[in-house]
Chain A
Amino acid sequence: MTSLAIKDLQKLPVRLTSGHRLCAGCAESIIAKQVMMGSEDDLVVSLSTGCFEVSTTVFPYTSWNVPYVHTAFGNGAATCAGVETAFNALKKKGKIKENVNFINFAGDGATYDIGLQALSGAMERGHRMVYVCLNNEAYMNTGIQRSSATTIGAQTTTSWPGSVSSGKKEFSKDLTAIMVAHNIPYVAQVSPHNWRDTVQKSQKAFACGGPAFINALSPCPRGWRFASDQTIAMAKLGVETCVWPLFEVVNGKYELTGESARIADGKAEKKPVMDWITSQGRYKHLLQDKNAPVIEQMQNEVDRRWNKLIKLTELD
């Protein structure tokens, strides 16, 4: 496997070029580059419809130096599975010699919501692919509408805070747990501030020999309302507050990684969710007195999930 030293990683081929049309401060291209660094073999990349897709492939241009395919919104996993199936067929017939790895990048809308059926099907069938959710916690491509990945209390353009509303009413869906329940060989959560953790997990995902799912926190300056030079700081804060723990599940065995492992070991501080809330404009309304209970709910839920995760890591 490629060494994780920066001096070695920077020598890897540029698979996604600069000059794409993602917003300043978008984490998606950062995450994608980190994930692709995890594959020494050639790649075919598929994208579900979303920010990343529309920003990198406006005809007659493409930002992709690897074969790329997009079909529609809710079927990224099936799109990727089709390429992998064709590979298996042609490899069997001796028409392809070298190994190729397959990735589907999709937003949380295309993963948690409209694409969940295709994702579940592809994982159950065991297609050898790395499915990466670029989770920016709302439908950003269509203008910041709520998804089932949106956290409680967040303002989106379909979950406005108002005289009778505190923003999104529901907790986010625990999709990573749903993917673990598929009993696939590799599941992980990553965050782009910890590039070493992301590249390493991607290496494991490509090497696992079957379906792998990586859920990546993808801070979105436009949707979350923070300055576009704060993306990496925001990603780090998500992990430090345990809103987005870093962990992996290898053949069913949970393990915390990065800052999350240090927090669990008592070597780093678990920051309050309030730090997370005050860092982003999407939670601004929660600072009004009437919304104090929502902050409490949010902290309680983060704690509940974090404590459960620690228990899961204690299982054999």
Chain B
Amino acid sequence: MPQDIAINGDNAVALAWKQINPDVCAAYPITPQTIIVEKFAEYVANGEVDTEFVCVESEHSALTLCTSSASAGARTFTATASQGLAYMWEMLPITAAMRVPLIMAVANRAVSGPININNDHGDAMAARDCGWVMLFSENVQEAYDMSLVAPRIAEHIDVQLPCMVNLDGFVLTHAIERMTTVDTQAVREFVGEHRPLYPLLDTKHPVSHGNMDGPDYYYPHKYQSVVAMEKALEVCEGVFADFKRITGREYKLVEEYMCDDAEYVAVILGSSFGTMKATVDRLREKGLKVGCAMPRVFRPWPAEALAKVMAGKKAVVVYDKHLSIGAYGPMFPEVVAAGSDLEQLPKMYNVIYGLGGADATVAGFEKSFEAVVNGTAQKIHYLGVRL
């Protein structure tokens, strides 16, 4: 039976994994993902899962082992954060190009240097071009729910891509929230039996995985991933619809809050979407017609759904919890591009916030969003930076 429980984000991910009971899990602990690995190790120790659990010697080996395990035909999970994801980077595009549907939770944390263990999106943003499906969560419930939908999306015959489930470090990983679980039997039915394509362990039908491509095949193979990503948009919508049928909880490619009649919209990712909703409430009380949106699915980039949100707005402000130094926040140009076919592109603003765990408060959001409404905002605003 579904239960209402109090749980932190990391434990919620571990619980989802336990219910799915993957074949293989290999991971290396790193703050703030550690609890996922520790909790899952406890499930293994107590026989609550029959997963082969491998404590690898590094994140590079974690993702390597998971990639070949998935190639071999096993449903495979891992988790990391920050430097761990950076250390995995070499493998990220390889995993995607090998079209293995493995699942990785990322407890979003700032990337060194300076070394910093707190939350921002520097780790995920550096991984965005690698060909992974990327889902983001606003709260603990969503971190759990995204962990349950991820294998359905990744393993879909039209997708066959690895999937990253992002949850903000500490803000979600370590914060205890109320959450409603899904019955384990329902989870197993929803996720279903794993049916790998061309697994290595089908030794009677040998295949070669990870071959070398010359220019004649490299580009076409990359394009195949483009097609899979495009399909993934539809697949996400379908899986979200199935998930709603068993839980009643509804997810969309782009989540919206008060956007319909809004003249000004903030686009924001992850846990700060909640903070922004509270900000919108305050500004609405002041009579300002504002709303906010979050790309639930960051890869594939839901450009069309975002363009619909942006259509007819006076201004759109993109809040980025990361910075492409020398340019903009990484999400900003993508939102601009999403709106570029609109009859009239709204005025576009970029706010950089929360780097390395810097405060992301309603007060800060309110002031910066209000400046956009008033037309006094700068193109790029570094919110709350102490000079």
Contact = CB atoms under 8 A, between A and B. Distances in A.
Q: Do A and B come from one complex?
A: yes
Interface of A: 42-44, 46, 53-54, 57-60, 62, 64-72, 74-75, 77-83, 85-90, 92-93, 95-96, 98, 100, 117-118, 120-122, 124-125
A121 B28 CA distance: 12
Given A82-B71, A89-B74, A90-B74, A66 B203 contact: yes
The 5 closest A-B pairs by CB, nearest first: A121-B57, A82-B68, A86-B72, A86-B74, A78-B61
Contacts of B54: 81, 85, 125
A85 B69 contact: yes
Candidate in A44, A77, A120, A122 with the most chain B CB atoms within 10 angstroms: A44
B68 to A, nearest CB: 3
A299 B255 CA distance: 72
A54 to B, nearest CB: 5
Contact of A78 (B60, B200, B207, B210): B60
A44 B66 contact: no
A72 B331 CA distance: 30
Contact of A82 (B50, B51, B64, B90): B64
Contact of A62 (B67, B201, B211): B211
18 contacts: A43-B203, A44-B201, A60-B211, A67-B200, A67-B201, A67-B208, A69-B200, A71-B98, A75-B61, A75-B64, A78-B56, A78-B65, A79-B67, A79-B68, A82-B26, A86-B23, A86-B74, A89-B69
B228 to A, nearest CB: 18
A60 B214 CA distance: 10
Given A82-B68, A85-B74, A70 B55 contact: no
B73 A90 contact: yes
A86 B201 contact: yes
B50 A90 contact: no
Interface residues of B, number: 43
B64 A72 contact: yes
B219 interface: no
B206 interface: yes
Contacts of A46: 68
Given A71-B94, A71-B210, A82-B65, A100 B203 contact: yes
Contact of B212 (A53, A100, A120, A121): A53
B90 A117 contact: no
Given A62-B211, A86-B72, A121-B56, 9 more contacts: A59-B214, A66-B206, A67-B203, A69-B200, A82-B26, A82-B65, A82-B71, A95-B73, A121-B57
Nearest to A46: B68
A40 to B, nearest CB: 13
B314 to A, nearest CB: 49
B208 A121 contact: no
Contact of A69 (B58, B66, B209): B209
B259 interface: no
Candidate in A74, A81, A83, A95 with the most chain B CB atoms within 10 angstroms: A83
B38 interface: no
A82 B211 contact: no
B213 A87 contact: no
Contacts of A74: 60
B24 interface: yes
B65 A81 contact: yes
A69 B206 contact: no
B212 A68 contact: no
Contacts of A60: 211, 217
B52 interface: yes
A72 B90 contact: yes
Contacts of A44: 72, 200-201, 203
